[in-house]
């Protein structure tokens, strides 16, 4: 599964994702147009508070069927 991280995330967080079998690309400070252009090649998007996910971004996320799109707020213990 290929995932885009569009906001800052600790190296430790990235390592956890990669050890979980995800292919991770980090592209921060994307404009809304750039995010819409990029998101179609990814199976997931990880954001924090900097990226705004609009209906246009969701529409461009072709690898995420509508049933798969979920909004979550989750913390992962690092211990």
Query: What was the pLDDT predicted at 32?
Result: 95
Query: What was the pLDDT predicted at 68?
Result: 52
Coil vs helix vs strand at 47: coil
Could you tell me the residue range of the domain that residue 19 belongs to? 2-68
Q: Cα separation of 27 and 67, whole Å?
A: 25
Residue 74 lies in a domain: no
Cα separations (Å) of 46 from 25, 32, 36, 39?
10, 15, 14, 11
Domain count, the chain: 1
Two structure tokens written together for 63: 């690898």
CATH number where 23 lies: 3.40.50.720
Residue 62 lies in a domain: yes
The residue behind tokens 């992962």 is 76
Residue 64's pLDDT band (cuts 50, 70, 90): confident
Secondary structure element (H or E) that encloses residue 3, with its range: strand 2-5
Residue 78 lies in a domain: no
Q: What is the pTM of this model?
A: 0.80
Residue 49's pLDDT band (cuts 50, 70, 90): confident
Residue 79 lies in a domain: no
Residue 73 lies in a domain: no
On average, the pLDDT of the chain sits at 86
């Amino acid at each position: 599964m290929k995932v885009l991280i569009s906001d800052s995330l600790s190296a430790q967080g990235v390592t956890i994702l990669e050890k979980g079998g995800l292919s991770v690309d980090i592209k921060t400070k994307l404009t809304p147009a750039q995010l819409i252009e990029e998101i179609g090649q990814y199976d997931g998007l990880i954001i924090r508070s900097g990226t705004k996910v609009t209906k246009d971004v969701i529409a461009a996320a072709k690898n995420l069927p509508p049933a798969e799109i979920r909004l979550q707020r989750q913390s992962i213990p690092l211990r």
